Chain A
Amino acid sequence: MKALALAIVVLVGGLLVSATVDFPDWADPNSPASRHVSPRYIEKTMEETSVPNIVTAVLADYRGYDTMFETAVVFTAGVACFLLLRRREPRPGPSRVYRHRATGVIVEMNRVPDKEPSPDVFKRIDDDWTPHDLIVMNVCRLLIPFIQLFALYVIAHGHHSPGGGFQGGVILGASVILMALSWDLRTAMLRMKETATGLMSAMGVFIYAGVGALALALGGNFLDYAALSPLLRVDPVAARSLGIFFVEVGVGLAVMATMVLIYKNLASEGRLDQGL
């Protein structure tokens, strides 16, 4: 079986490598892409979509299908990690560790307590190590809102500057992961529960495909944002610009939620109870 798999891999890999010989050279001005497609984008993007950043326009408008399925791939990766890693049974060994908030004394219990102690008095901590460093915790608390604000800026400003849904989504996800790193996983999970990440991940793809389907319902082609203009009460060019923004929001949601989902499952061995 393994030999068969290896043979297939070698065969397909060899075919792919042999196919690269036929590619046009790097930056070949006579390649089909440089002769027909690129000049068209460079000349027409501004008047057709009123988006100064051509990369964003190509990504989310002209090649909207591509990006939609990229988002679907991100979502699928999240689902795959969830299915592979998530474990329902609790961690072996019943020991629970708590920190008395007022004195900092660590209490270790040999069994799971019948009644969870009040979180205002005893804070549950991980049984190996919980970061408890005042400087790191508070600096991260100070920085995280700015990071998130910057992420929203990157998502919304993709029209004019480098950025967009993927980059902004990753920054948003990183801010939540930073909170998990500097406090602990349970604190981050209080802000963003497992259902929230799963739902937002699916919601992002849904928003993207939904904008496309809405264009279809309003009489355009799938993902033809110009068809949204009667709904948004703007002219078709501005509607394409706005449509790009909507799908970027979907991409950002999906990417952020998937990042956090994968991180949570990896950090806690799929149990989501403790971990950095």
Chain B
Amino acid sequence: MNLVVIIILGLGLVFFAGGAVGILRFPDFYSRLHPAGKMDTLGSFLMLGALALYHLHPFTLDNVLVAIKIMLIVVFYFLASPTATHAIVDAGIRAGQSAWQKPKQGAGS
């Protein structure tokens, strides 16, 4: 059981790390929101899911309740995080932020 929890936590960490690298490496506002929204959502799902699983270990009512609460956090995160990303993109377009284009070949950097 512990091994499964560790593997899932590690996977979540991979996604979080990918998200962090993506935020740093992507070229513009919109593409940076892509890792920020997606990777964080999946990463937190995996990590919180692992925590809920870990909490189930002595299978008592108290622990199950805690696990359910953790999974509720995941549900609200899944609702709120993509919506927030969507709203930020919307605001960016309204503010006139233009999307990044791939620079033409030979036109300098």
Contact = CB atoms under 8 A, between A and B. Distances in A.
Interface string A116-156: 00000000000001000101100110110010000000000
Nearest to A129: B94
A133 B76 contact: no
A136 B86 CA distance: 8
A139 B83 contact: yes
Interface in B18-62: none
A135 B85 CA distance: 11
A140 B79 CA distance: 9
Contacts of A142: 79
Nearest to B91: A131
Residue among B83, B86, B90 with the highest chain A CB neighbour number at 10 A: B83
B86 A135 contact: yes
B-side interface size class: under 10
B87 A136 contact: yes
A13 B76 CA distance: 46
Interface residues on A, range: under 10
A139 B94 CA distance: 20
B80 interface: yes
A143 B87 contact: no
B91 to A, nearest CB: 9
Interface in B75-103: 76, 79-80, 83, 86-87, 90, 94
Interface of A is mostly: helix
A139 B80 contact: yes
B65 to A, nearest CB: 14
A143 B76 contact: yes
Contacts of B87: 133, 136
B19 to A, nearest CB: 21
Contacts of A146: 76
A129 B76 CA distance: 28
B80 A143 contact: yes
A138 to B, nearest CB: 9
A133 B93 CA distance: 13
Nearest to B87: A136
B107 to A, nearest CB: 36
Nearest to A150: B76
Nearest to A133: B90
Contacts of A129: 94
A142 B76 CA distance: 10
A136 B94 CA distance: 15
Contacts of B76: 143, 146
A4 B94 CA distance: 47
The 5 closest A-B pairs by CB, nearest first: A139-B83, A136-B87, A135-B86, A139-B79, A136-B83
18 contacts: A129-B94, A133-B86, A133-B87, A133-B90, A135-B83, A135-B86, A136-B83, A136-B87, A136-B90, A139-B79, A139-B80, A139-B83, A140-B83, A142-B79, A143-B76, A143-B79, A143-B80, A146-B76
Given A135-B83, A140-B83, A143-B79, 12 more contacts: A129-B94, A133-B86, A133-B87, A136-B83, A136-B86, A136-B87, A136-B90, A139-B79, A139-B80, A139-B83, A143-B80, A146-B76
